[in-house]
Amino acid sequence: MRALVCVTGCIAAYKACEIVRLLQKSDVDVKVCMTEHATHFVGPTTFRALTHHKVAVGLFDDPEDPIHHISLAQWADIVLVAPATANILAKMAHGIADDLMSTTLLATRAPILIAPAMNAGMWDAAATQDNVRILEQRGVHMVQPDAGYLACGEVAAGRLAEPSRIAQAALDLLRGDLDLSGEHILITAGGTREPIDPVRYIGNRSSGKMGVALADQAARSGATVTLVLGPSTAPIPHSVNVIHVETAEQMRTAACEAFDGCTVAICAAAVADYTPRNPADHKLKKSVEHLDCIELVETRDILAELSASKEDRVVIGFAAETNDVVAYATRKLATKGCDAIVANDVSRPDSGFGSDTDQAWWVGTSGAEELPCLEKTELARIILQRAFDLRHARHAGVSHEA
Ligand code: CTP
């Protein structure tokens, strides 16, 4: 997980050091961006020593990175502005982008968390309160300032909230409402390619998006994630250990090796069922003789193999069907021996290969439940929640049904 901590010019700037430390203790990789004014309160060297990253201050400071605001904006899983002055709140509310921090804040698609700190008069000012309202309406998250003794001598609202409260709010946002810290999840994703010759292969339409969404959500929730990924164009999340594979057999080897240290495995890959027995080592020339001569052999079923050795681990499979979805998924649940199957109808335009949404059924030992059509990120969260409910029930020794 990656957090960009933006420090603005305020007497509470020194407290950002503690916030950085607290995030690092929770395995968050932290970079710091400072306004020019902030550097009058705390030196960039302090943050550089804490984070082991260059501290970003000026738009043109880094000759190696000429579009620094974009790379910072894209790097972060969350952007935390602490302390946030009235000035940065005003710039954010009105889209002013005139330095590295404000351009980065405008460019980022990551969630933003602000922790305001300022004199009580500035905090109470109608302009500041309007700006805060605008930001909250746009989905910016906030840790309210505390009331207390302020640097100006007043005792009132405006003091930066406790660093522990700010760091916790950032961690909650990074992890969502699922806390999977300490868990290790194996995910298979994407399609496989079975070589016919050095140029051609047998493949399928899987985009890998569902498996990658699962990996992303699991990593955001604090889990260690091993993603065994076949060819896929889905952007790979940070903080995920990716093993790239191409064939079903490579996927099987990587998945079986990674399974040992895992608590949960989710097989979302579209694995080829058959592979050419003897792929040619040279390009086959066009010939009618080849029409009959590509002999296929069955691949080994990774999901069934993991399920057979799962012991107290939870193993979830997928079923991509075009008809009789629940009936086929129920059969797969029994034959593969996994704990549940997520089944979807890939003939639907909102649920097919490459779509960003999925309409799925959760098929467990007690039956099938139809889920609404959801964004893959949201479906991923539900699948993880259910997988870990099963795991916790199993661990607690409670008899349960999927
Ligand atoms: N699977 C696997 N290894 C294989 C084949 C499938 O791990 N060699 C897993 C998939 O990752 C998925 C589940 O099994 O979790 C179901 O895959 P699917 O292709 O739908 O089912 P198949 O068993 O291949 O059956 P069919 O193609 O006849 O529907």
Domains, the chain: 2-175 (3.40.50.1950), 184-395 (3.40.50.10300)
Pocket test for ligand 1, best of 186, 202, 249, 302 (most atoms within 8 A of CB): 302
Rg (CA), the chain: 25
Quickly state the pLDDT bin for 220 (edges 50, 70, 90).
confident
Q: What angle do CA 134, 135, 140 make, to 5 degrees?
A: 150
Report pLDDT for 398: 54
H-helix segments, 221-370: 248-259, 290-293, 302-308, 325-336
pLDDT > 70 in the chain, percent: 98
Residue 319 beta carbon below 6 angstroms from any ligand 1 atom: yes
Report pLDDT for 312: 93
* Residues near 188 by beta carbon (within 8 Å), at least 6 away in sequence: 211, 228, 229, 251, 255, 265, 266, 267, 268, 269, 271, 302
Catalytic one of 6, 10, 152, 262 = 152
Instruction: Please give the model's pTM, rounded to 2 decimal places.
Output: 0.72
Residue 338 is among the residues annotated as catalytic for this protein: no
Report pLDDT for 135: 95
Tell me what the mean pLDDT of segment 14-31 comes to. 94
Q: How far apart are CA 223 and CA 219, in angstroms?
A: 5
Report pLDDT for 122: 94
Report pLDDT for 149: 80
Report pLDDT for 336: 97
- Select the more confidently predicted residue: 352 or 227: 227
Q: Which of 1, 384, 27, 3 is nearest to 218 (CA)?
A: 384
* Residues near 313 by beta carbon (within 8 Å), at least 6 away in sequence: 259, 262, 263, 264, 265, 391
What's the pLDDT tens digit per position in 227-265? 999 999 888 887 899 999 999 999 999 999 999 999 999
Q: Are 197 and 157 in contact (CB under 8 A)?
A: no
Residue 249 beta carbon below 6 angstroms from any ligand 1 atom: no
Report pLDDT for 400: 45
DSSP annotation of 183 reads -
What's the pLDDT tens digit per position in 94-104? 999 999 999 99
Tell me what the mean pLDDT of segment 94-123 comes to. 95
What's the pLDDT tens digit per position in 299-351? 999 999 999 999 999 999 999 999 999 999 999 999 999 999 999 998 888 87
Q: Are 144 and 161 in contact (CB under 8 A)?
A: yes
* Residues near 55 by beta carbon (within 8 Å), at least 6 away in sequence: 31, 32, 33, 34, 44, 47, 48
Give me the count of residues in the chain: 402
Q: Which residue has the tokens 């929730």?
A: 221
